[in-house]
Structure 1
């Protein structure tokens, strides 16, 4: 058990309420993962931040724990969502080959550098980027830069690296940035959502590894934490998130592109504003 945590402050009712809240978080995040291709991090990060704040953990570790644990949950959720979208032919393998390696590297760099970024910095990244993306997605016509992805392999690698880096610091699966970026290059939205679910896996795995390393020697973490990853929270959220991702994917294919964008914008704006206000 890590220093700074007093388990006696949790009575049975509080523990039951926290478990119920985390299970509900898994339901919502899993559904959103399939629906929007975002890995559910836009829900998991703010909820974990609130829970850890309620339990009086130091501000220095709360944001890192929320982001890292969210990324750990995204791994199984992305697999489930990716499989569901792949069955419908909406995972673009050529895009995975083009963006995947650079996105992996960017996420790994972000996870490692998290050791040197304060908690307020992580919240600022989440809030500012989230609000900007939400505004863009809510517009009647999303920003369109070109009719196709850049032909330059270098430009594509730079785009993917930046998305991987920022996504790892936000605790999200990549859809928050990759979906609007792909839309800006006239990529079909359903295909962008499905491909983003797969790209989320390439972000979460290296980012989690980086956050584990960054938090190994940090004090005042919750009990049973692996680096900055809270294993109990991940174990509670992950199963329901994994199981609900296919439902979100089915809902996505029953909606038109405009409704998908609006749903994405509303959820992202609410959670981003909450992080900025905190």
Structure 2
């Protein structure tokens, strides 16, 4: 019980940091939440064989509410190109739902190694942003379906909303940046919702899970992260107009690089 309360309290602090950085730099929280949970969850008896799955699933579940509030704000500003959902929504939902079942088949150590590589790549992208040259013509329906499925699977496996992948792709397709960000905020919510469902179903009969889990989702950590991140995110948004976000992004990218390398070494 003491460890449970300690983890809940730490996750309140973690959620505050994640919410603030999300509002300040416009980044998803999964790249920080997952490494933190990989360190914290063994305290409550999560075995190494399930550790990475629980960390990623809990991170993905925490994205549901935070991405919903972001999506609602973008919708009110007219930033969401709803017409894109007809060709891409089926792939998004199918890929996200499948991610939980695919994850179950991957050993925890291999999943952690894949996540660490992903973190390093995202750190490089944040420090030296890749801006693809816009293509004036949208891809065919089949291409949009396949790309959205792949992005949703990767996002679900990594415990993120997928914005870091959708925004560059949509920018390449000629979509304006504000519309690409608005679209990714909605898809982040959908990926988190479908992916969380997949992780819950896939983890229902998983062995070695402690009390307080639903499938692969560890509820005390989830509640702590969500409560504080929702409250603190607006403060980060406010500070974004005052603080030097370009410099802070590079510092944060360096932090992610260190985290990714450490995880790769210890996986």
TM-score range, shorter chain: 0.7 to 0.9
Are 2:153 and 1:165 aligned? yes
Structure 1 residues 37 and 168: CA distance shift in structure 2, 3 A = farther
Aligned length: 266
Give the CA deviation at 1:15: 5.1
Are 2:37 and 1:48 aligned? yes
1: CA distance between counterparts of 2:220 and 2:41?
Answer: 13
Structure 1 residues 86 and 34: CA distance shift in structure 2, 3 A = farther
Aligned to 1:59: 48
Structure 1 residues 156 and 267: CA distance shift in structure 2, 3 A = farther
Q: Is there any run of 5+ residues in structure 1 with no aligned partner, and where?
A: 1-6
Aligned to 1:119: 108
1: CA distance between counterparts of 2:177 and 2:245?
Answer: 6
Are 2:199 and 1:205 aligned? no
Contact residue 163 and residue 178 of structure 1 kept, 8 A: yes
Aligned to 1:3: none
Structure 1 residues 235 and 229: CA distance shift in structure 2, 3 A = same
Aligned to 1:86: 75
Give the CA deviation at 1:236: 1.6
Task: Calculate the TM-score normalised by the size of structure 2.
Answer: 0.84
Aligned to 2:214: 226
Contact residue 21 and residue 233 of structure 2 kept, 8 A: yes
Aligned to 1:244: 232
Structure 1 residues 177 and 232: CA distance shift in structure 2, 3 A = same
Give the CA deviation at 1:264: 7.2
Contact residue 15 and residue 228 of structure 2 kept, 8 A: yes
Give the CA deviation at 1:182: 3.2
Q: Deviations over 1:143-172 (max 9, x none)?
A: 415334633121111111111001100011
Structure 1 residues 171 and 62: CA distance shift in structure 2, 3 A = same
Aligned to 2:141: 153
2: CA distance between counterparts of 1:181 and 1:258?
Answer: 22
2: CA distance between counterparts of 1:103 and 1:214?
Answer: 18
